[in-house]
Amino acid sequence: MEALPIMVRMLPVDNRLRNLQIYKLLQCVHQNDKKQIEKLIQNGIPNLINFTEPVDGHSALSLACTKNDIDMCNFLLQRGAHPDVQDKMGRTPAMKAAELGHTLILEILATVKADMTIVDNEGKGILFYCILPTRRHFQCTQIALDYGADINNCTNDGKPIFLQACEEAHSIKEICLNFLERGANPNARDPATGRTAVMEAAREGGLEVVRGILERGGDINLFDNERHSAAHFAAKGGFFEILRIISAYNGDLGLIAMNGNTPLHYAAEGGFAICCKFIGQRGCDPTWSNLLSKTPRAIAKEGGFKAAAKELLKVEKNFIKQSKSEDNEGIPLWALKLYDWSLEHQTALLQAFQAVDQGDGTVAKDDFISVIQKQCSFVDTEQIETIAEAHEKPDSEGINPEEFFKGSKYLQKSYLITSFGPKQKKGKKGKKRRGKRVAVPVPICIIPKSACQLREDGFPVYMIEAVQSTADSDHINRDHPSAHPVHDDRAWYTDEPRKMYMNINFLVRAGDIISLQKAFEEGVPVDIKDKYYKTPLMTACTSGNIDVVRYLLEKGADVNATDNFMWTPLHHACYNGHLDIAELMVQAGGAVDALAIGNATPLMRAVEISRLDMVHFLIDAGADVQATNSNGKNALDIAKVFADSRIIDLLQNKLDNLPIVPEKKGAEKGKAAKSTPTAEEVQTAKKEPSLASLPPVEKPHTEKSAQDSVVYLNSLISSGATKKEDVAFKPRKIWTPDAATKELVRKIEFFWERSALSGDSENPDNLFKRKDTE
């Protein structure tokens, strides 16, 4: 009798039924089936809504939070879902929402009093899941901190959250500064490596984060388990501004690590000449050798950094000179650090000096000493008096703060911060330097935002939804699906794709006809222009996708539409060398002699790319070879510039054989005919006067029946009138090399891509239904 209750609790049938109900509930949440969820909650096992599935521990609320389904989250919370249910890894729904940047979900969970201090199995709180470089994750940190998240949370290994954030200080600067403002420990340290937050921030080059840590009391002279300080990491990355801040807060720039390297060694290894000069002046021994017996200058020479080696040589000479002098005539280290400190705290010092100003922009000596002594902790009174005496003037009783900030009264010029900038070349005296003409870049012409049409959701009209093909090849068993709906888990292997909007011309280049069809069905105009004034038909003509071109023409695309340069689709097809598309444009009614900006015709574009077949087709289609652009040049003149002899001969022959319209009877003298001959035709006519003396039978242009006469043809041959006629063979269509092969390969690749995504191919039958025959 005692074993009966245990059997009831441990029956495998009950466990299996519970798991099936949990999976069914999760499936309904995934499908957003609220009616079925209501039935499961009412008729299922008690508290089913808070149970987790046995593999990963997902609950219904955590799944809704992961999907960012705000309506489902509110629905589940109203039905009794607990906001702090943890999965197998100890993660709560709030942690998952914070990791994905779902700010609205996290705010809903916070309002229902979700516990923000819960940690997962590794000891990580919710803030560890917010450390990502997006604006949404920054908002998640704000929400979590507002509702009680621990700002000094540490993992089970003792790694603080602030240190974890400083490891990515360059990309999440706002989050790190927010942690400091909310009370994070500035001396947070990793017990495993010994590194502090300021070391990680210096390694990442986070200037504002390093400054914020030091302003809040961070210790700059701490070192890790390998005796590396923040100066080592800043020198290794070449971060000169961070080295300035370290020196301003009395940081040790000469600390020797366990491998014998100083910050100067790391600066020389990277070839940072300015950093080498700065570190060598601020107390680091340039003659020190590491465990490999290499000085910083030797390292710079091995790396081929001539500028760094040159600066290190100067630093070595100055260091040896100061070490040999008995009177210590060199500049003291405290004066250099005081100078760096004054530049870093210039704003605060100016406010303090203004409070004790004498009225003429100067302060008294005693006031100057008291202000410096109050705010700077690493200098004593005697040192400050030395600086004050250097700034005193015999004719004045006060000290000018501006001269103190310059530092020229107590430091040499090479130690001032202005000496670390790029040197300016001095011009020769007596000669005026001519100012160089700076080429002003031509801005890209785009449609203004004010003139861009927007949809109801705020997107531009040319941004359309890209249809994503979801492959279902991950099903476990396709041939034998589960008969019972509870066992049918196909929905778990097909993720619902998120909507993705793309520029319609990007989809045209990719040949995505399915997305284009959906957009046109939703009312998007077929001739919509993107911000570069290009229609889909222009883009298709440029990319050479003839299938998309045919589809757009079927939808009624305008073949004579123009962009901001007045180019038509035929211009784009000719300029990119797509003969088949150009033929399609002409057949669809495209203007063969359409004029772009500068009066350029499609024939001129074809001449510019030296495509003989394209030029031949346009001439046969009726293109005007005599048309001139705004510079007065016709197609032949342009062909001579591009030096393609084939096109030059073709155009020359066409111009030579143009019919000359005779003058009308009774017309006034001096009036020319409608078709005026070119200069070359006039010269040819002058050189051959014999043609004018031919009998009338030799030029029968009006009677069509005479052209078929053998006597007429014989008279032309005997008189020599046909000596300029080109009798070479001219095929009706000129094929370019490999044109057909490229198009065939491209078409095969296109259908293979389609078949890989959705199972469609050129054959309408499905790939899985074909029967392979040998």
Output the average pLDDT for the chain: 81
Which position has the higher pLDDT, 695 or 95?
A: 95
Identify the pLDDT of residue 11: 45
Q: Which residues contact 449 (CB under 8 A, 6 or more apart)?
A: none
Which position has the higher pLDDT, 721 or 769?
A: 721
C-alpha 295/C-alpha 83 separation (Å) is: 60
C-alpha 601/C-alpha 627 separation (Å) is: 8
- Average the pLDDT over each of 127-131, 337-341, 689-693, 708-712 and give the range with the smallest value: 689-693
Whether 675 shows a pLDDT value over 60: the answer reads no
Identify the pLDDT of residue 452: 81
Taking only the tens place, the pLDDT of each residue in 132-154 is: 999 999 999 999 999 999 999 99
Whether 586 shows a pLDDT value over 60: the answer reads yes
**How many helices (H) does the chain have, and how many strands (E)?**
36, 4
Assign 412 a pLDDT band (cuts: 50, 70, 90).
Answer: confident
Identify the pLDDT of residue 698: 40
pTM above threshold 0.75 = no
Whether 676 shows a pLDDT value over 80: the answer reads no
Q: Which of 470, 523, 530, 469 is nearest to 502 (CA)?
A: 530
- Average the pLDDT over each of 35-39, 176-180, 736-740 and give the range with the smallest value: 736-740
Main-chain phi, psi angles of 16, to 5 degrees: -70, -40
Which position has the higher pLDDT, 187 or 453?
A: 187
Question: HSE on the CB side for 376, CA within 13 Å?
Answer: 29
Identify the pLDDT of residue 645: 86
C-alpha 612/C-alpha 738 separation (Å) is: 15
Taking only the tens place, the pLDDT of each residue in 199-257 is: 999 999 999 999 999 999 999 999 999 999 999 999 999 999 999 999 999 999 999 99
C-alpha 764/C-alpha 390 separation (Å) is: 93
- What does the pLDDT average to over 278-303? 92
Q: Which two tokens stand for residue 188?
A: 């947070």
Torsion of CA 370, 376, 378, 379, to 10 degrees: -30
* Burial (CB count <10 Å: 0-12, 13-18, 19+), residue 550: middle
Whether 487 shows a pLDDT value over 70: the answer reads no
Residue 491, number of CB atoms within 10 A of its CB: 13
DSSP string, 172-184: -HHHHHHHHHTT-
Identify the pLDDT of residue 62: 93
C-alpha 673/C-alpha 573 separation (Å) is: 35
Assign 583 a pLDDT band (cuts: 50, 70, 90).
Answer: very high
Q: Which of 238, 258, 245 is nearest to 218 (CA)?
A: 245
- What does the pLDDT average to over 305-316? 92
C-alpha 330/C-alpha 319 separation (Å) is: 9
* CA-based torsion, 300, 303, 305, 310: positive or negative: positive
Whether 707 shows a pLDDT value over 80: the answer reads no
